[in-house]
Chain A
C-alpha cells in the first residue's frame, strides 16, 4: 500500500459526528432525500463490517462505538474510488467525509467525497465468530468478540452504566469513596484463601485483600460517617460461572444506621441500576421474570429452613447432636455424601443451620429475598441481635438463587470482636488439624495436597486497636458488582461481564 502512496497507519482523524448523532439529526430525511448544504458536511470514522461494490458504486457499512452507518461511495464524486476499491477490506478502520443521503431503501448514508484508510487490518476478521462453540477463545480475544458481536459490547456498556449509576447514587447520599490498600500484611474481613506475593525491598510477604471491610471500618473510627469503596477483591479460589479470582465489589458503611437501613438501601440501589439500564424496574434473567417491586420479601434463615424442611432450629438451643440428627434425617433422601460429612463435622448448631440453608434453600430464592438473622457462629463481624439470642443483625440478599449482597449491623465491641476472631481461628485450626490427620492416613501425596490447600488465618491487631478507640454504631453492606451486572444483562457466566477474565495459560 505504501507503494501506492497510501499510509496504512494514519496519525489522527478529525471526526465531527458519531453514527447515532447522525441517525438522530437526520431522522426526518426521507428515502431518496439528500442533505448537501455546507452545514451538512460531516466526517465519520469506524471499522468496516460490510462491503458491496457494483461497478461505479460501492457501499461500506462502518461501525463506531455508538452504532453503524453506511458510506455511499460513488465513482463520480470520489476521486480515489478505483484505488480504494482494490485496497479497502472488511475489518479496516476508515475515516470519511461527505454529505448526507438516504437511499431509496431507506438507509441513511454518508455520501462520501473523501475516504481515507486510517488503520489497515492485516488479519482478516473471522468469517463466522465461534460464539458458544469456543467460549475460551471469545474470552481470550475479547476484542474480536466485541467486533463480531455488538451485543457483547452492549453488555460492557451496561456494566459501565451500572458502575456509574451506583457511584452517583451513593455520592448523592453523601458517601465518600476511600481507597484502601490492596496489598496487605494480613488478609482479613472474610473467610477466603488469599493470594500471596512478595515485596522485594521490604523483604516481606504480602497478601492481596480478600475484602475491604476492616480498613473501611477504621475510617468510621477516624470520624468519617459515610464511606464506600468500589474496587477489586481477590480470592485464590477456583474458577466457575459465578467465580473469577478477581472480582469487583462495593462495600458501604454508614454510621448511626443498622441492618434495616441497609435493606432499604439495597432495594433502592438495585432498582436504580435496573432503571439505568432498562428505564424500568422489570427484568428477565435466563427466561425468568424478576419482580423488583418493593418491599422485597424478608424472612429469617430459621424460618426459611423450617419452611423447607420442617425443622425448627430455634428449638435446639445448644444441643448440637439433636440439630445434626434432625438435619441428617431431613437431608437423607438427597443421598449427598459430601453434604452428610459436612453436616456431621459442623462444630455448632449455627453451622448446621447455615449448611442446611445453603443446601436446601439458597437455590430456591429466585425472587428478591432478604434472608435475615444468621447464627452468630457464621457471622464473626456482625452485632448480636437485639432480640434473638444466638443470632446476629444480618441479612443476605438473594436473587435468582445467588447471593448478591451481605450486610449487618457492625460489631463495635472490641472485647467481643477479639473473642469472635479467636473462636474463628480456633475452629479453623481444628479443621486444619483434622484435615491434616486425615491426609496423613491417606499418604504422602494427600499431605502435600493438604499443605497446598491450607492457608494461615491471622488476627488483625490494628483493627482491634481501632475498635478500642471507639467506632460509632454502624451498618455495612457489600454488593457483588459482577453478579449484579450478570443479573441485569441476562448473562449466564461471570466471565461474560468481566472484560479480561482469568484464563488458564495456553498450551
Chain B
C-alpha cells in the first residue's frame, strides 16, 4: 500500500472537509441505545434476519472501513462498550449519493448511524444503515496493526499483559497522547478502569464499616506526616508560602481528636522527588484511621480488604505479574489470606545470622550497623543514620523474600516517629508494612497518641535533619497541640493505590496506570504515523 505523508493526509483531509456544505462537526446526535443494550436486545436474531420495522441510532468511532464492490460498505464501529458492525448498501441509504456519502467517512472518524438491527449472513450482529452522519472527523491516520484488537478486548485485571506488542508502543507518545493510546490499544482502557474499580471497592469496604470519607487540605503552610521533600508554592493574596501535602496523616488524626471514630481519604499526595518505575511526583493513596483499634486489627482488615478486592476484580486470588520483564515468564502472586508475618528484628537476625544490639538508639548500634552493611556489601547513601542503615538491610534481606503478600512487623522506634511503642517489646513499635512483589504496598501502625512523647520524637527527627537527613520529619506544633486535647487510641493505615493497580494490571511502570504521568518538556508531541511510530 502506498505510504502517505501524515502532514499531507492532514492537509488533504482539511481541504476536503472545507468543501462540504455544512460543518463536519455535528451539533448533536442522540443515540437510542448503548452497544451493550443493542447486543442484549438483538442477539437472538437468526442469520440473515433484518428488522425492517425497527430503527435505532448508534454512534462510535470507525475502526475499519471495507468496501465490497461499489454498492456495499462495511464499518466496524467502536464505542466504550466494544464493537458493532454497520453495513451500508446503496438500496437502503436515504439522503445523499451513496458514493459521495461514504467518500467523506474515513477510518478514525466518529459517526452516527441510524438503521435496522439485523444479523449478517455470517452471523455477526450488525446495524443496516439508512443514514450515516459524520459527527467528528479524525484529521490524522490512526495507527493500524499490533496485537489483535479483539484479543485485547478480552483482557481483564489479573491476567498478564504485554504493552510491547501494542501498535503504538513508544512511551512518550502513549503517555502524552493518552487518548490515542486508548483508541488504538484497547487494553489501556481496561487498565485505567481498574483504578476506578479498586477505589470503588475500597470506598464501599470502608463505608460498610462505618468510616467516613473526608477531604483534608492539599495546600498547607507546612508539609508533615511523612519523610519527603515537598512541592512549594506561593499564595499571592495572603503573601504566604505554602507546600503541597506529602501525606494527609496529621490532619486525619486531628479529625479523630475532633470526635470522628473512623475516617478515610482517597486522594492525591505530592512528593518532589525523582521519578522511576514506582515513583511519580503526584500519586494516589488511601489512608484510614480507626479509633479504639490497634495494628493487629488492621492486619486482619488488610487481609480482608486486599484478598476481597483481588477476588472481586480478577475473579480469583492470584494475579500474573511480569516481575522480571515482559520477555520472561510472569510470576503468580497469591493474595489468599492469611499473609505471612515477619518480625523485623528477629527476621533480620535469623536471616543474617547476627545479633543486633539491644539499644538501637545507641552510638554502638550505629557503628555496628555501619560495619555490618560494609561487610555484607549493602550500600547505604549518606547520611548513615541507624534508621537508614536498618532500612537498607531490611530491603536486602527481608523485602526480597516477599513476593506473595507478607507483613514485616514491629519496626524499631527510631524508624517510626509517629508509631506507638510496642506494648511488650522495648525499643520497638506496633507497626507493620505489607510487601507484595518486594515492594511496600501498605504502611500502618498503632498511632502514638502521647503528646509529650510525640514532641520528643519530633526533636529526635530534628537532630537527624541537622545531621544531614533532610527527609526527617518536621515538628508540627498544631498537630501536637491537637494531641494534647486527647487523641483516642487508634490505628492508622496507608496504601499506595497506583502500586496496587500496577499489580492488578501487570504494569511494570507506574506511568502505565496514570492517566497523565509527569513528563519532561516539551509539552506537545506530534501525532504518530499509521505504523504508530513518531514523526520526525
Residues of chain A whose beta carbon lies under 8 Å from any beta carbon of chain B: 8-15, 18, 45, 47, 63-65, 91-93, 95, 118-123, 125, 140-147, 153, 156-157, 160, 163-164, 167, 171, 176-186, 193, 195-202, 204, 206, 208, 215, 218-219, 221-226, 231-232, 234, 236-239, 245-246, 248, 255-256, 258, 383, 386, 409, 412-416, 452-453, 460-462, 465-466, 468-473, 498-502, 504-505
Question: Given the complex of chains A and B, what is the CA–CA distance between A5 and B261 in angstroms?
Answer: 27
**Given contact pairs A47-B486, A225-B80, A469-B180, A185 touches B521 in the complex (Cβ within 8 A):** yes
12 contacts between A and B (CB under 8 A): A18-B261, A118-B292, A119-B487, A145-B258, A176-B193, A196-B233, A202-B518, A202-B520, A223-B183, A236-B235, A245-B235, A473-B28
B330–chain A nearest beta-carbon distance, Å: 27
Select one of B181, B294, B481 contacting A11, CB under 8 A.
Answer: B294
Q: For B200, what are the chain A residues with a Cβ–Cβ distance below 8 Å?
A: 171
Asked if residues A199 and B255 are in contact (CB atoms below 8 Å), the reply is no
Question: Given the complex of chains A and B, what is the CA–CA distance between A19 and B448 in angstroms?
Answer: 26
Q: For B214, what are the chain A residues with a Cβ–Cβ distance below 8 Å?
A: 156, 160, 499
Q: Which residue of B lies closest to A229 (CB)?
A: B515
Q: For A499, what are the chain B residues with a Cβ–Cβ distance below 8 Å?
A: 214-217, 251, 255
A51–chain B nearest beta-carbon distance, Å: 15
Q: For B238, what are the chain A residues with a Cβ–Cβ distance below 8 Å?
A: 239, 502, 504-505
Within 8 A of A (CB), among B236-281: 236-238, 240, 242, 244, 251, 254-255, 257-262, 267-268, 270, 272-275, 281
Which 9 A/B pairs are nearest by Cβ-Cβ distance? A222-B182, A461-B524, A121-B486, A146-B258, A143-B258, A470-B136, A222-B179, A500-B217, A12-B294
Q: Which residue of B lies closest to A216 (CB)?
A: B515
Q: Is B449 an interface residue (CB 8 A)?
A: yes
B83–chain A nearest beta-carbon distance, Å: 11
Q: For A223, what are the chain B residues with a Cβ–Cβ distance below 8 Å?
A: 61, 78-80, 182-183, 189
Select one of B244, B420, B524 contacting A462, CB under 8 A.
Answer: B524
Q: For B510, what are the chain A residues with a Cβ–Cβ distance below 8 Å?
A: none
Question: Given the complex of chains A and B, what is the CA–CA distance between A412 and B515 in angstroms?
Answer: 21
Q: Is B177 an interface residue (CB 8 A)?
A: yes
Within 8 A of A (CB), among B120-145: 135-140, 142
Question: Given the complex of chains A and B, what is the CA–CA distance between A13 and B449 in angstroms?
Answer: 14
Q: For B446, what are the chain A residues with a Cβ–Cβ distance below 8 Å?
A: 11-12
Q: Is B534 an interface residue (CB 8 A)?
A: no
Select one of A12, A176, A500 contacting B489, CB under 8 A.
Answer: A12
Q: For B275, what are the chain A residues with a Cβ–Cβ distance below 8 Å?
A: 201-202
Residues of chain B whose beta carbon lies under 8 Å from any beta carbon of chain A: 10, 14, 23, 25-31, 34, 59, 61, 78-80, 108-110, 112, 135-140, 142, 176-183, 189, 192-193, 195-196, 199-200, 203, 207, 210, 212-221, 229, 231-238, 240, 242, 244, 251, 254-255, 257-262, 267-268, 270, 272-275, 281-282, 284, 291-294, 297, 420, 423, 430, 446, 449-451, 478, 481-482, 484-489, 491, 514-516, 518-521, 523-525, 527
Question: Given the complex of chains A and B, what is the CA–CA distance between A201 and B109 in angstroms?
Answer: 40
Asked if residues B177 and A91 are in contact (CB atoms below 8 Å), the reply is no
Asked if residues B207 and A164 are in contact (CB atoms below 8 Å), the reply is yes
**Given contact pairs A11-B294, A122-B451, A201 touches B136 in the complex (Cβ within 8 A):** no
Asked if residues A144 and B110 are in contact (CB atoms below 8 Å), the reply is no
Select one of B213, B258, B292, B449 contacting A142, CB under 8 A.
Answer: B258
Question: Given the complex of chains A and B, what is the CA–CA distance between A144 and B485 in angstroms?
Answer: 8
Q: Which residue of A lies closest to B497 (CB)?
A: A179
Q: For A414, what are the chain B residues with a Cβ–Cβ distance below 8 Å?
A: 139
Residue with the highest number of chain A CB atoms closer than 10 Å, among B34, B199, B235: B235
Q: Which residue of A lies closest to B292 (CB)?
A: A13
Asked if residues B177 and A465 are in contact (CB atoms below 8 Å), the reply is yes
A155–chain B nearest beta-carbon distance, Å: 12
Asked if residues B177 and A466 are in contact (CB atoms below 8 Å), the reply is yes
Question: Given the complex of chains A and B, what is the CA–CA distance between A157 and B217 in angstroms?
Answer: 17
**Given contact pairs A177-B196, A178-B192, A504-B238, A470 touches B485 in the complex (Cβ within 8 A):** no
Q: For A65, what are the chain B residues with a Cβ–Cβ distance below 8 Å?
A: 212, 259-262
B501–chain A nearest beta-carbon distance, Å: 11
B388–chain A nearest beta-carbon distance, Å: 20
Residue with the highest number of chain B CB atoms closer than 10 Å, among A9, A413, A468: A9
**Given contact pairs A12-B297, A119-B489, A469 touches B183 in the complex (Cβ within 8 A):** yes
Q: For B108, what are the chain A residues with a Cβ–Cβ distance below 8 Å?
A: 469-470
Question: Given the complex of chains A and B, what is the CA–CA distance between A224 and B178 in angstroms?
Answer: 12
Asked if residues A64 and B489 are in contact (CB atoms below 8 Å), the reply is no
**Given contact pairs A65-B261, A409-B28, A13 touches B515 in the complex (Cβ within 8 A):** no
A16–chain B nearest beta-carbon distance, Å: 11
Extra contacts besides A256-B59, A500-B217 (20): CB < 8 Å:
A11-B420, A11-B423, A12-B294, A47-B488, A119-B487, A160-B214, A181-B516, A182-B268, A193-B236, A201-B273, A202-B281, A202-B518, A223-B182, A223-B189, A258-B28, A412-B25, A466-B177, A469-B138, A470-B135, A470-B139
Select one of B142, B196, B258, B525 contacting A178, CB under 8 A.
Answer: B196
**Given contact pairs A143-B482, A221-B179, A471-B110, A246 touches B518 in the complex (Cβ within 8 A):** no
**Given contact pairs A185-B521, A470-B138, A232 touches B218 in the complex (Cβ within 8 A):** yes
B337–chain A nearest beta-carbon distance, Å: 21
Question: Given the complex of chains A and B, what is the CA–CA distance between A201 and B140 in angstroms?
Answer: 34
Q: For B182, what are the chain A residues with a Cβ–Cβ distance below 8 Å?
A: 219, 222-224
Select one of A63, A232, A468 contacting B267, CB under 8 A.
Answer: A232
Q: For A123, what are the chain B residues with a Cβ–Cβ distance below 8 Å?
A: 481, 484-485
Q: For B267, what are the chain A residues with a Cβ–Cβ distance below 8 Å?
A: 231-232
**Given contact pairs A199-B518, A471-B136, A120 touches B284 in the complex (Cβ within 8 A):** no
Question: Given the complex of chains A and B, what is the CA–CA distance between A13 and B291 in angstroms?
Answer: 9
**Given contact pairs A196-B233, A462-B177, A469-B139, A143 touches B291 in the complex (Cβ within 8 A):** no
A421–chain B nearest beta-carbon distance, Å: 13
Question: Given the complex of chains A and B, what is the CA–CA distance between A320 and B142 in angstroms?
Answer: 45
**Given contact pairs A142-B254, A232-B267, A473-B27, A91 touches B61 in the complex (Cβ within 8 A):** no
**Given contact pairs A160-B212, A195-B233, A180 touches B516 in the complex (Cβ within 8 A):** yes
Asked if residues B178 and A218 are in contact (CB atoms below 8 Å), the reply is yes
Question: Given the complex of chains A and B, what is the CA–CA distance between A223 and B219 in angstroms?
Answer: 34
Question: Given the complex of chains A and B, what is the CA–CA distance between A502 and B218 in angstroms?
Answer: 10
**Given contact pairs A223-B80, A246-B217, A185 touches B523 in the complex (Cβ within 8 A):** yes
Question: Given the complex of chains A and B, what is the CA–CA distance between A171 and B142 in angstroms?
Answer: 31
**Given contact pairs A11-B294, A181-B515, A462-B177, A256 touches B31 in the complex (Cβ within 8 A):** yes
Q: Which residue of B lies closest to A469 (CB)?
A: B138
Asked if residues B515 and A215 are in contact (CB atoms below 8 Å), the reply is yes
Asked if residues B240 and A505 are in contact (CB atoms below 8 Å), the reply is yes
Asked if residues A196 and B234 are in contact (CB atoms below 8 Å), the reply is yes
**Given contact pairs A93-B486, A156-B214, A256-B30, A469 touches B237 in the complex (Cβ within 8 A):** no
Question: Given the complex of chains A and B, what is the CA–CA distance between A365 and B255 in angstroms?
Answer: 37
Q: For B176, what are the chain A residues with a Cβ–Cβ distance below 8 Å?
A: 462
Q: For B138, what are the chain A residues with a Cβ–Cβ distance below 8 Å?
A: 468-470
Question: Given the complex of chains A and B, what is the CA–CA distance between A221 and B515 in angstroms?
Answer: 14
Select one of A118, A197, A219 contacting B233, CB under 8 A.
Answer: A197
Asked if residues A225 and B79 are in contact (CB atoms below 8 Å), the reply is yes
Asked if residues A246 and B219 are in contact (CB atoms below 8 Å), the reply is yes
**Given contact pairs A237-B237, A470-B109, A504-B238, A147 touches B258 in the complex (Cβ within 8 A):** yes
B224–chain A nearest beta-carbon distance, Å: 13
Question: Given the complex of chains A and B, what is the CA–CA distance between A435 and B423 in angstroms?
Answer: 66
Asked if residues B272 and A219 are in contact (CB atoms below 8 Å), the reply is no
Question: Given the complex of chains A and B, what is the CA–CA distance between A472 and B133 in angstroms?
Answer: 12
A234–chain B nearest beta-carbon distance, Å: 7
Asked if residues A91 and B485 are in contact (CB atoms below 8 Å), the reply is yes
A82–chain B nearest beta-carbon distance, Å: 23
Select one of B27, B61, B192, B281 contacting A383, CB under 8 A.
Answer: B27
Asked if residues B489 and A9 are in contact (CB atoms below 8 Å), the reply is yes
Q: Which residue of A lies closest to B297 (CB)?
A: A12
A469–chain B nearest beta-carbon distance, Å: 5
Asked if residues A409 and B488 are in contact (CB atoms below 8 Å), the reply is no
Asked if residues A239 and B237 are in contact (CB atoms below 8 Å), the reply is yes
Asked if residues B251 and A141 are in contact (CB atoms below 8 Å), the reply is no
